[in-house]
Chains A and B, each alone.
Chain A
Amino acid sequence: MADASYPDDLKYHAEHDWARVDGETATLGITWYAQDQLGEVVFFDPPQVGATTSKDQGYAEIESVKAVSDVVSPLSGEIVEVNEALSEAPEKVNEDPYGDGWLVKIRLSDVAEVDDLMDASTYEGSLS
């Protein structure tokens, strides 16, 4: 698996999730730390398109050989797309957690919530 990395262009949540904000929409996923803790991901149970996410609440489950984890949403909104490729290749979450391993895309309901998230260096600092 790739070395630890926490891209600067992303925002981070304490429950080890990231958000790539693009105006009114955001792409969400889990961080390098989260996938490292989980081990090899074997199954992602995606929510339905149209479902809502709430900041700090779980919206899906991600399963590895040794653990099942709630995926917590950093932001509130409506799910507009889910990463279908993960059903065939869930290991993308480990291999490329910020790229091909994205989980869902949402339309934000409250852009102001982005300010509550951490930047890369703050998040990385919180891990030690």
Chain B
Amino acid sequence: MSAAVEIPLQRDRAVTIFEKSREGRRAFVAPELDVPVDEDALPERFRRREPPRLPEISEPEIVRHYNGISKRNFDLDTGFYPLGSCTMKHNPKLHERVAALPGNARLHPLQAPERAQGALEIMWELQRALAEIAGLPHVSLQPSAGSHGELAGVLLTRAYHEARGESRHKVLTPDTAHGTNPATVTMGGYEVVKLGTDEHGGVDMDDLRANLDDDVASLMLTNPNTLGVFDTNIQEIARLVHEVGATLYYDGANLNAVMGRARPGDMGFDIVHYNLHKTFTQPHGGGGPGAGPIAVSDRIEPFLPRPQVVRHPDGAFDLDFDRPQSIGRLRGFQGNYGVFVRSYAYILSLGADGLQEASETAVLNANYLLARLKDKGIGEHLPVAFDRLCMHEFVLSGAPMKRNLGLRTLDLAKRLLDHGFHPPTVYFPLLVDEALLVEPTETETRETLDAFADAIADILRESADDPEIARNAPYSTPVRRLDEAGAAKRPVIRQPLD
């Protein structure tokens, strides 16, 4: 496998749009100035001296530029993307059409509620559906991402305890938690206490009991967790947490495993966040936008962010700001409405039956792929970390592969790129050595799953012969392995413009 032969995309060197700028070129034509000029409109001392050095470029060049760089991306519409913990399911194309309707796209957030009834109804109905899915009655759509929802949850917990005259300092999270959980705890002004994981992949109950006291404000969990495993102790966990008066928080990143089968509210959770860009198909956009609405139990409801979307007895929808115990606002306006429209379209399209079928198929696909990866030729190098049925995702360990073949999980991932697949999540969760977290989702066919398993088998066979090939992969991508250490040592984070 020679690196000397470049593919066309590799021959095209990266050039930023700033470097394509040429003085005098333009795309924008300003409207005519149709009012008299007031020379004193802005005192000189406030005036910018030099115009900002934005590119001077025409429309065709802008289109060529961005179309060109788009081809340097792998994307979900193009291929399989089994990133664990991300739920890369198909983004239905209907959603772009409804989000673009002028009544949605050109609606100002401060429009009077009487003149935004369609928008408020969409939000209200979405809230109702999300409440039913999670089994908790009160929903706020305000948070803009999962971690924003988590911050809301931590602040709601704080408000809840303070209203009871209590001052608590600790929040518990398992060591398998997504990194946002402890980071959020710190932003919420609490101390993180880590809990261990037992040999079945669930929370270590002895560790939990030892750490639960009345200084614990909350326990944050994902269920199923980041190992793809459902913690069957959840009811006992909920009982213990509530016994010391703490709240139980559900990180909804893995909700795709249980829709229609089980609900976090029924498991005993007080606060749940959803990731609309995971479970509810909001396109990932290369890293956002998303949304992280929350659902809470009755006792937490008074503290929800302001405003809340409500429905009056006469049927009119409104924004309710009169919430004296609210924690306040976590952002401006009402939240990521464009995301709500898409998620609502999804829920309408699938309905009760479709949502349940989505989760069941997600779990089916994951277990099928897991069974394929246990095949001889793969399973001995990439054993599953917890040998039980998985839910919608599973973790493999690349430690034997490293020992047997001298290949690291990183190298396997890079070689998968040459096979036209996006690799699974690597090196997370931290608990598993050389981890590979795989989540196929329900929108993949059996053929795709087979092709993926076959590709892994190919790579392992190839590596038994010559591990250097994978160690120097990828070969066929627009750029090959990049110097990340160099980027961190001498950060260059903008194009020089002189």
Contacts and interface: CB of A to CB of B under 8 A. Distances in A.
Q: Do A's and B's CB atoms come within 8 Å in the complex?
A: yes
Interface of A: 39-40, 42-43, 63-66, 90-91
A42 B427 CA distance: 20
Interface of B: 427, 484-485, 488-489
Nearest to B488: A42
Nearest to B484: A65
Contacts of B485: 39-40, 42, 64-65, 91
B191 to A, nearest CB: 16
A63 B488 CA distance: 9
A42 B484 CA distance: 10
Q: Considering the complex of A and B, which 10 residue pairs feature the smallest CB-CB distances, nearest first?
A: A42-B488, A40-B485, A42-B489, A65-B484, A65-B485, A65-B488, A42-B485, A90-B489, A43-B489, A43-B488
A88 to B, nearest CB: 9
A72 B489 CA distance: 22
A13 B484 CA distance: 30
A94 to B, nearest CB: 10
Given A64-B485, A65-B488, 7 more contacts: A39-B485, A42-B489, A63-B488, A65-B484, A66-B427, A91-B485, A91-B489
A42 B488 CA distance: 6
Nearest to A39: B485
B413 to A, nearest CB: 14
A25 B485 CA distance: 33
A43 B488 CA distance: 8
A65 B485 CA distance: 6
Nearest to B489: A42
Contacts of A65: 484-485, 488
Most B C-beta atoms less than 10 A away, residue of A39, A42, A90: A42
Contacts of A63: 488
A33 B488 CA distance: 22
Most B C-beta atoms less than 10 A away, residue of A43, A65, A66, A91: A65
A54 to B, nearest CB: 20
15 contacts: A39-B485, A40-B485, A42-B485, A42-B489, A43-B488, A63-B488, A64-B485, A64-B488, A65-B484, A65-B485, A65-B488, A66-B427, A90-B489, A91-B485, A91-B489
B182 to A, nearest CB: 14
A80 to B, nearest CB: 27
B146 to A, nearest CB: 22
A18 to B, nearest CB: 23
A42 B490 CA distance: 8
B484 to A, nearest CB: 5
Nearest to B490: A42
B482 to A, nearest CB: 11
Contacts of A64: 485, 488
A8 B488 CA distance: 34
A63 B489 CA distance: 9
A66 B179 CA distance: 13
B45 to A, nearest CB: 39
Nearest to A89: B489
A78 B164 CA distance: 47
B414 to A, nearest CB: 15
A90 B488 CA distance: 11
Contacts of A66: 427
A86 to B, nearest CB: 11
B2 to A, nearest CB: 27
Contacts of A42: 485, 488-489
A82 B469 CA distance: 42
Nearest to B427: A66
A28 to B, nearest CB: 22
Nearest to A63: B488
A64 B485 CA distance: 7
Nearest to A94: B485
Contacts of A39: 485
